[in-house]
Chains A and B, each alone.
Chain A
Amino acid sequence: MDAPETPTDGLNIVVCIKQVPDSAQIRVHPVTNTIMRQGVPTIINPYDLFALEEAMRLRDQYGGQVTVLCMGPPMAEDALRRALGLGADKAVLITDRRFAGSDTLATSFALATALTRLGADHPVDIVFTGKQTIDGDTAQVGPGIASRLELNQLTYVSAIDTLDQGKGEIVVRRRAEGGVQVLKSKLPCLITMLEGSNEIRRGSVADMLRAARAELTVWSAEEAGVEDVMMCGLRGSPTVVKRVFAPSARDEQAEMVTVEGKQPAQIGDAIIDLIFAAQPKLEADLSAALN
């Protein structure tokens, strides 16, 4: 299948999204202890929606096109169609049995390869991803793509301040430990968006109809440009899942500590008193160690 048409002017933005099971509705099989995926609705990874909205805002302001890219099984088409209904312009699904079992290394390889193909006619200006996925929680795929494509990576971005197309520069705010960094980068770059940075829009009737009718671009590994399939799927994934298990319920109880006054020391004392009251041995051991 041909690559979707690229914009003749304006930004060429690609947002990588993942279809994930709705974690709020996942159950663990009481007998086999495995995750019961059957019948669990799938959603777009919620963090990716912040990336998609930010991408669409840039498009609306500067012109251009937003393409959503997803690696997944054929049913991941649902996620792409939903993204189109939210206002994305084009959708590309890369799907191949040989992608099955990909860890973050293999996933970033496949996505980076497809991104290269997508940028063949008109280079991609910005790649967006969510901060992380709710099913893997690694936050590795975005940076993985950036390093494979040698893009500047702007992770945990909470806002985009300015974009200068002439100079090919972008200024963003990045949440860092203990504060906010203001970073300037050359385009192209990769941005992972932080949750809560914006609110995903509701597509119009026209968006929804366009999404329902859209012909998605569907690529196999070869079509996406993969030359070495050993880099894909299970074979390209050094990560080994040793065991999956459901943590057994613990019968600890939470307690709310209310303290008069707001001095940190007072609050600390109150909590420590409470802990010592419940664990006299800990108190004895600690004071023995301190003396």
Chain B
Amino acid sequence: MSEHFDAIVVGAGPSGNAAAYTMAKAGLNVLQIDRGEYPGSKNVQGAILYADALERIIPDFREHAPLERHVVEQRMWLLDEKSHTGAHYRSDDFNEDKPNRYTILRAQFDKWFSRQVRAAGALLITETTVTNLVKDDAGRVIGVETDREGGPIYADVVVLGEGVNALVGQNAGLRPELKPQHVALAVKETHFLPEQTVRDRFNLAGEDDGVVIEVVGSVSSGMVGTGFLYTNKESISIGVGCLISDFAETCIPPYELLDNFKSHPSVAPLLKGSEMKEYVAHLIPEGGYNAIPRLTGDGWVIIGDAGQFVNAVHREGSNLAMTTGRLAGESIVQLKAERKPITEANLKLYRDKLADSFVMKDLKKYRRIPALLERNKQLFTAYPKAMSQALQMFLRVDGTDKRSKESAMMRSVKRARGSWLGVATDMFKLMRAWR
């Protein structure tokens, strides 16, 4: 006996959960399949949760979701071997009724989200891997094969929220293989620290206040990459990620990168005395706009990381995942209500909704950034160093007059890049890519 559903959602990460929730809530008969032991068991994120995207799906989530801290301060650090140049922004405005950003632990958050999905009426089966898509003679996707006995399961549409690897879509020939320059590998550790220690170390007045630190510079050892350090309730998440293509070229082991980051003189005191709880590694799609695969077809649609929906510049991913999941869900609900088949042509609805949302607008805005960074690695090495040297010269009082110091500072910036023309070109390229 084979079953038929309105929709099958592959994956119970933020994108799959958003899609399944939206469709089940609207009364569709939804089956969600995840290969993890429980939803979220293998999922990895920093993790910052952006409230807005979730609020549009579950407005009162703050009352019951497992949240760690709300972010009151953001630190941006340019890291050099022994120094960091930082810009810190803290505001009491972030202590609002409905804070905008939270730190979370994904394993717990995903479990909670999945409970909401099931409460909305979707069926979930775990420990089940979707191995392939089933197509009819016309090439239309009509269901999925799994690694369990009992044949295929059928549906009017298969929503692929399978994450960055996207093997199902790839095996079914819906999309090309991932390119190494379009994915970063991130490693992350969670370190236990008593709650009070976390608050003391980061000057956190409120019980749930939190700090996040985003880092560029020597943390990536000359590769395209960034580091991060986030405060949770009773732990600190710390990680670093770089492009796979760069790891392949430099042969630097990822854990070594993380070890260097942890022992950096600006970071080590924040972790002192902590106990490592968890070590994980995961991929992040960072190819941006130009790497987005074809997103829809007859009977299928792609959401979340599987569609390369990550804004690497702003470290946003889960919110794009939830938004694309919701928009795909809403589109399918609408097509069903209008009794229209879920075809490539009719799914223009989803593509239009996407184009109209911050997701596509942001990724389009930054479409030149991935290639720019990949070709201009000096941005990750030369400038943090020059900045550090210049500031040190500026701050040291050693009998040198200020005018000489200023010219020495300028020289150090020029030297960092070889010539003023080089500096000017970098600035121009950056501005153009940012616009």
Contacts and interface: CB of A to CB of B under 8 A. Distances in A.
Interface of A: 27, 30-31, 39, 41, 78, 85, 202-209, 211-213
A205 B150 contact: yes
A206 B123 contact: no
B194 A209 contact: no
Nearest to B2: A205
A206 B150 contact: yes
A204 B275 contact: no
Contacts of A78: 38
B105 A39 contact: yes
B143 to A, nearest CB: 11
B194 A31 contact: yes
A39 B40 CA distance: 12
Contact of B194 (A30, A208, A211): A30
B149 A27 contact: no
Given A31-B194, A208-B128, A209-B3, A203 B123 contact: no
Most A CB within 10 A of own CB, among B41, B108, B128: B128
A172 to B, nearest CB: 29
Interface in B89-108: 105, 107-108
B151 A205 contact: yes
A204 B148 contact: yes
B146 interface: yes
Contacts of B123: 209, 212-213
Contacts of A213: 123
Given A31-B194, A202-B148, A209 B125 contact: yes
B1 interface: yes
Contacts of A202: 148-149
Contacts of B37: 41
A85 B125 contact: yes
A39 B108 contact: yes
B148 A212 contact: no
A211 B126 CA distance: 11
A206 B1 contact: yes
Given A30-B194, A41-B38, A208 B275 contact: no
Given A30-B275, A41-B38, A41-B41, A208 B148 contact: yes
B383 to A, nearest CB: 40
B148 A205 contact: yes
B125 A212 contact: yes
A30 B148 contact: no
Nearest to A43: B37
Q: Which 9 A-B pairs have the closest CB atoms?
A: A205-B150, A204-B150, A208-B125, A204-B149, A212-B123, A205-B148, A31-B194, A206-B150, A39-B108
Nearest to B193: A30
Interface of B: 1, 3, 31, 37-38, 41, 105, 107-108, 123-125, 127-128, 146, 148-151, 153, 192, 194, 275, 277
28 contacts: A30-B192, A30-B194, A30-B275, A31-B194, A39-B105, A39-B107, A39-B108, A41-B38, A41-B41, A41-B107, A78-B38, A85-B125, A85-B127, A203-B148, A204-B148, A204-B150, A205-B146, A205-B148, A205-B150, A205-B153, A206-B1, A207-B150, A208-B128, A209-B31, A209-B125, A211-B125, A212-B123, A212-B125
Given A27-B192, A31-B194, A39-B107, A205 B124 contact: no
Given A41-B107, A202-B149, 20 more contacts: A30-B192, A31-B194, A39-B105, A39-B108, A41-B41, A78-B38, A85-B125, A202-B148, A203-B148, A204-B149, A205-B128, A205-B150, A206-B1, A206-B150, A208-B125, A208-B148, A209-B31, A211-B125, A212-B125, A213-B123
B189 to A, nearest CB: 14
Most B CB within 10 A of own CB, among A85, A205, A207: A205
Contacts of B150: 204-207
A205 B149 contact: yes
Contacts of B38: 41, 78
A202 B105 CA distance: 30
Contact of B277 (A27, A41, A85, A203): A27
Contacts of A207: 150
B312 to A, nearest CB: 28
A213 to B, nearest CB: 6
A27 B276 CA distance: 11
B40 to A, nearest CB: 10
Contacts of B277: 27
Nearest to B147: A202
A209 B4 CA distance: 12
A204 B124 CA distance: 14
Contacts of A31: 194
Contacts of A208: 125, 128, 148
Nearest to B108: A39
A210 B11 CA distance: 20
Nearest to B273: A30
A232 B342 CA distance: 56
Given A30-B194, A39-B105, A41-B37, A212 B124 contact: yes
A78 B39 CA distance: 12
A21 to B, nearest CB: 13
A103 B127 CA distance: 32
Contacts of A27: 192, 277
Contacts of A211: 125
Nearest to B153: A205
A7 to B, nearest CB: 21
A30 B234 CA distance: 11
A27 B128 CA distance: 28
Contacts of A30: 192, 194, 275
Nearest to A38: B108
A251 B149 CA distance: 49
A204 B37 CA distance: 16
Contacts of A85: 125, 127
Nearest to B151: A205
